Amino acid sequence: MMDNEFRTDIEAIETIAAIPTILNVVCRVTGMGFAAVARVTESRWVCVAVNDEINFGLKPGGELKVQTTICREVRQCGDPIVIDHVADDALYRDHPTPAMYGFQSYISMPIFLKDGGFYGTLCAIDPRPARLKNPGVMGMFRLFAQLIAFHLDAGRRVVTAEANLLDARTAAEVREQFIAVLGHDLRNPLASIQAGTELLQKKPLDAKARSILAMMDKSVARMAALIDDVMDFARGRLGAGLTLTRSTAPLEPVLKQIIAELQAAHPDRTIEADIHLPDPIVGDPARIGQLLSNLLGNALTHGAEDKPVRVKATTNGRFELVVANAGAPIPAAAMERLFQPFSRGQVRPNQQGLGLGLYIASEIARAHGGTIDVQFSDGQTRFTFSMPLDGGASRRH
Amino acid sequence: MTVILTVEDEPLVGEYLGDVLRDAGYEVIAASNSDEAIAVLESRDDIGIIITDVNMPGSMDGLKLAVAVKGRWPPIKIIIATGKAKPDERQMPPDSRFLPKPYAPERVLEAVRQFH
């Protein structure tokens, strides 16, 4: 009867190609007829590998009562026990074990794993006496025991590494699912609030009520953008990265739509757009729209309120999108962390985001084989997104 | 004018959807889950189009409802709405249409107009 613990031990030993050779060499060098690797615990003695030339009768998985073995004593003292000739050995002459198993020579070398734990023994017996108590045989047994321990440790490390890898994969999947569900569940009530404000806007309302609705709409839009950001961040950081759906669909309507949306959300600001895209562009229009939305949102938040924000999109061998705002330059300290996640500038109250906008914009740029640069000159902060016209498609693996 | 049955578990979203359709001149019956929708279909025979959300609590989600409706009332046109990715075509009954959420008035009316 074997439980799983020992089955695993036997399988682990079976993967070590050197074991049969070790047991064979042990028998050749010592002249003994039976050699084995035994797993020895407090309560069990299980043979995990064997070279039996004397029909002792143990096979891998075979078990001896641990109380009847000398290996148990090896386990307790941690030192090898060696008997050249039982009949001449003062200590073991009257020991019950040799008589019980019918051997005259005996050697058992402890196998210690790297963590110091006792694994079992490399042992050998024979009905005839043998010359074992010499540095040659002892050294060989010690070396073989270390070799077996080394292989067992290496095997365990591989198994652990594989399990960790599996854990990491499962964890990533669970995280992805969590993010998807969370995103959906957060968006639902938000869609509800938005539907509510739309419904109310059709009713006759006084000026105060209209302005409250407009503020609610703004908050909903901000919340929706935050959820999008968090989901993108989580996917990019924890999951498979940003995925692009490349197409040659014209970018101009997408860019104009984003500008119109942000203009509607900031009616008191001026956004000047100059979009001229004569060459075809390959890219993910929704992602590039998101990139513009983040850059433009950033410019509206941080730029001077009384000056226009300018958007310029061109193709001249590359696709280039510039968003510029007037106002104070970005402080040097903030500059260093500008595209890092959760990097937030000093902004007006209630404008605070998660600091993910520029990080996500830079990830979108990177996915397209492009870059975002920042420059300050003539009182203008200028973010420039530049990418190849094929949207990095040629570098795709 | 075509009578449209809407199935949406978020009350405000359902109301908003109804508003959009009524403003365009349609008669709208609202249900908040699949069981209510089936009850409506069993009680009247003038429903021409059904617009159903996919993710709903209750005995059937929107996809199962769509399949059930196609089986019992084949002439009724079906529009399936979801904020998630478009469902697998094989899960949608033949001739049904997909509508992305949140509901945008022009997309809703475009989907409805394709059916008459």
- DSSP codes, A111-135: EE-TTS-EEEEEEEEESS-----SH
Say which residues have a Cβ less than 8 Å from residue A239's Cβ, sequence separation at least 6.
A172, A175, A176, A179
A191·B13 Cβ contact <8 A: yes
The distance from CA A7 to its chain's CA centroid, rounded to whole angstroms, is 30
Residue with tokens 């600091």: A355
A184, A189, A192 ranked by CB distance to B84: nearest? A184
Architecture of domain A242-395: 2-Layer Sandwich (3.30)
Amino acid at position A4, single letter: N
Sign of CA dihedral A213, A219, A223, A225: positive
For residues A38 and A49, give the distance between their C-alpha atoms in angstroms, rounded to a whole number.
7
In CATH, A4-161 is 3.40.190.10: no
ipTM: 0.73
Please, are residues A326 and A303 in contact by the beta-carbon 8 Å criterion?
A: yes
B101·A192 Cβ contact <8 A: no
pLDDT tens digits for chain A (397 residues)?
456 678 888 888 998 989 999 999 999 999 999 999 999 999 999 999 999 999 999 999 999 998 899 998 999 999 999 999 999 999 999 999 999 999 999 999 999 998 899 999 999 999 999 999 999 999 999 999 999 999 999 988 888 888 888 787 777 777 767 777 777 778 888 888 999 999 999 899 999 999 889 888 888 887 887 788 777 777 665 545 677 888 999 999 999 988 988 888 888 999 999 999 999 999 999 889 989 999 999 999 889 999 999 999 999 999 999 999 999 888 887 888 888 877 766 555 455 566 778 888 998 999 899 999 999 999 999 999 999 999 888 765 4
Residues in A touching B16 (Cβ below 8 Å): 195-196, 198-199
Other C-beta atoms within 10 Å of A86: how many?
22
Domain boundaries, chain A: 4-161, 242-395
Domain count across chain B: 1
Domain that residue B73 falls in? 3-113
Two tokens at A160? 């652990």
For residues A326 and A321, give the distance between their C-alpha atoms in angstroms, rounded to a whole number.
17
Of A300, A256, A289, nearest in space to A364 by CA: A289
CATH number at residue B17: 3.40.50.2300
B13·A202 Cβ contact <8 A: no
Q: Give the bridge partners for A325, in sequence order.
A: A309, A381
Backbone angles phi, psi at A350, to 5 degrees: 65, 10
Shortest distance between the Cα of A279 and any Cα of chain B, in A, equals 30
For residues A96 and A104, give the distance between their C-alpha atoms in angstroms, rounded to a whole number.
12
